[in-house]
Structure 1
Amino acid sequence: MKTSSAILGILGAAAAGAFIGVLFAPDKGSETRKKIKDKSKDYGDNLKSKVDGILSTISSNGKDMIEEGKAKFNQVKNDFNSVTDEAKAVKTNY
């Protein structure tokens, strides 16, 4: 989670820097607005792609963790059943 926060912070700082740079550029107002619009769209698309990648990774890892948890649960359940069966066998022998 810290890595994604750092990435978002860096992207935000880069966007702010680009925005300020465009504002102080010696262009006409309409050109400046067009540049801001274009840069905003580029940064928005870039950010969306990064977030989608992060969410995909989290989703994939979550599915793997669930499957691993199910496998471990089944293993523990089987071990418990084996111990219970052994205990019943020992009890009937005495």
Structure 2
Amino acid sequence: MSGNKVILGVISAAVVGAIIGLLVAPEEGAQIRKKIKKRTNSLAGDLIDALEKSKQSAKDTAENLKEEGSALKDEAVNKAAEYTDTAKREFNDFN
């Protein structure tokens, strides 16, 4: 999650910086508004792309963890069955 916060912070800072830079530029209002709109749309697209990559990364990580958990569960079930069989054999040998 902290990676998402960093990405969001960097993009937000870039947007604010671009807007401030355009506002202090010696150009007409219409040109400044066009540039602000163009840069904002570009940065919004970059943000959406970054969020989609983060979302996919989270999905991949969740799937990997699910597979690892399933494998560990299967291993635990097999070990439990082994121990149960061993205990039964030793009990029968004892009697």
CA RMSD for the aligned pairs? Answer: 1.0
- State the number of aligned residues: 94
Where in structure 2 are there 5+ consecutive unaligned residues? Answer: none
Secondary structure at the counterpart of residue 27 of structure 1: coil
Give TM-score scaled by structure 2 length.
0.92
1:43 aligned onto 2:31: no
CA distance in 2, matches of 1:11, 1:33: 19
Aligned residue number for residue 25 of structure 2: 25
Partner amino acid for 1:40?
T
| Counterpart in the other structure of 2:90 | 90
2:3 counterpart residue number: 3
Structure 1: 5+ residue stretches without partners: none
Q: How far did 1:89 drift?
A: 1.2
TM-superposed CA distance for 1:2, in Å, is 2.0
Runs of 4+ aligned residues of structure 1 deviating over 6 Å after TM superposition are none
TM-score normalised by length of structure 1: 0.93
The percent of aligned pairs where both chains have the same amino acid is 31
Are residues 1:55 and 2:55 paired?
yes
Bigger relative contact order, structure 1 or 2 (CA pairs below 8 A, ≥6 apart): 2
